[in-house]
Amino acid sequence: MVDAPSVWNAANVVTVLRIAMVPFFALALVVDGGDSPTWRLVATALFVLAASTDRLDGWLARRSGLVTDLGKLLDPIADKLLIGTALVLLSVLGELPWWVTILILVRELGITIMRFFLLRYLVLPASRGGKLKTVLQAVAIGLFLLPLDHLPDVVTWVAWVAMVAALVVTMVTGADYVRDALRIRREARRPSAGTV
């Protein structure tokens, strides 16, 4: 039987709260068709708060030795749910081209599925590039969530620079993960030297 206190520790509770914030963020973003500056600022604040808890739950888990299988499962789900919801809704509102959203989501889902199939060999950890990708995506999306029509044009320009940087790093790190996965699979299938 699973020990409830060890599963529902502080780190996992933070992760669950991040998931629970996603519907509230989504609702705030689409109020008045996304045209309300006040609600856009509320949505941006909720997104930033939810995204910032990603580092908090990881820090809590490592600091207190609270790393659990549930946490390993929920953390990437929470991240992809938040990022995916933001990207899809920004595209629905016509503020981010669908091709950007599709490229990022295909990469994210593809790498997640690939990691699942690699579990028989090893757990593929997040690389430095992967962590940079997550930060860039959060920054770029956070900027796009702002009521850009009511802000100086330079903010829109910065938002696009951040999004292009996030997209480039997303694609490059995705290719790196695929290359590493193929190498791991080849090595795992290679017969050992003692095999006849």
Top-confidence residue, 108 or 129: 108
Q: What is the DSSP letter of 93?
A: T
Q: What is the spatial distance between Cα 131 and Cα 173, in angstroms, rounded to a whole number?
A: 10
End-to-end CA distance of the chain: 44
Q: What percent of the chain has pLDDT over 90?
A: 48
Is residue 105 a contact partner of residue 91, using CB atoms and an 8 Å limit?
Answer: no
Closest by CA position to 147, among listed 130, 135, 159: 159
Return the pLDDT at 5: 42
Nearest-10 Cα torsion for 145, 149, 155, 156: 80
Give whichever of 53-62, 106-115, 143-152 has the largest mean pLDDT: 143-152
- Residue 58: both structure tokens together: 């990881």
- The Cβ of residue 168 has, within 10 Å, a number of other Cβ atoms equal to 12
Q: Is pLDDT above 60 for 92?
A: yes
User: Residue 104 is which amino acid?
Assistant: I
pTM value?
0.82
Tokens of 193: 């030297």
Mean pLDDT of 70-80: 73
Instruction: Give yes or no for residue 90 having a pLDDT over 50.
Output: yes
Q: Which pLDDT score is estimated for 1?
A: 42
pLDDT confidence of residue 130:
76
CA distances from 27 to 38, 39, 105 (A): 13, 9, 21
Confidence (pLDDT) at 42: 97
- Give per-residue burial for 111-145: e unless 16+ CB within 10 Å, then b: beebbeebeeeeebeeeeebebbbebbbbbbbbbb
- Minimal CA–CA distance to 19: which of 91, 65, 71? 71
Of 63, 61, 106, which is closest to residue 83 (Cα–Cα)? 106
Decide which of 79 and 72 is more confident.
79
Average pLDDT over residues 109-117: 79
CA–CA separation, 186 and 152 (whole Å) = 52
